[in-house]
Amino acid sequence: ATRRLTGFTPSGVLHLGNYLGAIRPIVDGVDDTDTVVFISDLHALTIEHDPALVRRRTVEFATLLLAAGADPDRCLFLVQSHVPEHAELHYLLECATGYGEAQRMIQFREKSRRQEQIRVSLLTYPILMAADILLYDADEVPVGGDQSQHVELARDVAYRFNTRYGRTFVVPRAVHPPVAARIMDLTSPTDKMSKSTSSAAGALRLLDEPDALRRKVMRAVTDTGTDVVYDPDHRPGVSNLLDILAACTADDPRVLAPLFTSYGELKRAVADSVVATLAPVRERYADLAADPTYVRDVLRAGAARARDLAGAKVRAAKEAIGLLPA
252 is in an annotated binding site: no
- With beta carbons less than 8 A apart as the criterion, state whether 147 and 157 touch: no
**Of 180, 246, 295, 317, which lies in the binding site for ligand ATP, with binding defined by CB under 6 A?**
180
- With beta carbons less than 8 A apart as the criterion, state whether 143 and 174 touch: yes
CB of 231 to ligand ATP, least distance (A): 19
Does residue 111 carry a catalytic annotation? yes
Task: Please identify, among the stretches 7-15, 95-103, 232-240, 287-295, the one whose residues bind ligand ATP according to the rule CB under 6 A.
Answer: 7-15
Does residue 318 carry a catalytic annotation? no
Task: Please identify, among the stretches 109-117, 177-185, 219-227, 273-281, the one whose residues bind ligand ATP according to the rule CB under 6 A.
Answer: 177-185
Nearest in space to 8 (alpha carbons), one of 37, 46, 47, 45: 37
Task: Please identify, among the stretches 73-81, 186-194, 256-264, 300-308, the one whose residues bind ligand ATP according to the rule CB under 6 A.
Answer: 186-194
Q: 5: which residues sit within 8 A by CB, 6+ positions away?
A: 35, 36, 37, 38, 132, 133, 136, 138, 140, 141, 172
145 is in an annotated binding site: yes
**Of 18, 58, 124, 273, which lies in the binding site for ligand ATP, with binding defined by CB under 6 A?**
18
- Check binding of 125 to ligand ATP (CB under 6 A): no
195 is in an annotated binding site: yes
Task: Please identify, among the stretches 91-99, 187-195, 276-284, 307-315, the one whose residues bind ligand ATP according to the rule CB under 6 A.
Answer: 187-195
Nearest in space to 87 (alpha carbons), one of 50, 57, 124, 59: 124
- Pairs from 314-318 (Cβ < 8 Å, separation ≥ 24): 314/85, 314/88, 314/89, 314/92, 314/135, 316/168, 317/89, 317/92, 317/161, 317/168, 317/169, 318/92
- Check binding of 295 to ligand ATP (CB under 6 A): no
- Check binding of 162 to ligand ATP (CB under 6 A): no
* Identity of the residue, 20 or 306, whose beta carbon is nearer to ligand ATP in the bound complex: 20
CB of 147 to ligand ATP, least distance (A): 6
* Identity of the residue, 6 or 239, whose beta carbon is nearer to ligand ATP in the bound complex: 6
Nearest in space to 46 (alpha carbons), one of 89, 108, 105: 108
CB of 198 to ligand ATP, least distance (A): 8
Residue nearest to ligand ATP (CB): 21
Q: 205: which residues sit within 8 A by CB, 6+ positions away?
A: 13, 14, 15, 16, 212
Instruction: Please tell me what DSSP assigns to residue 21.
Output: I
193 is in an annotated binding site: yes
- Check binding of 237 to ligand ATP (CB under 6 A): no
E strands within 19-75? 34-39
Q: What distances in angstroms separate CA 300 from CA 44, 135, 293, one per listed residue? A: 20, 19, 10
Active-site residues, by number, are: 111, 192, 195
Which residues in this chain contact ligand ATP in the complex, by CB under 6 A?
Answer: 6, 8-9, 11-12, 17-18, 20-22, 142-144, 180-183, 192-197
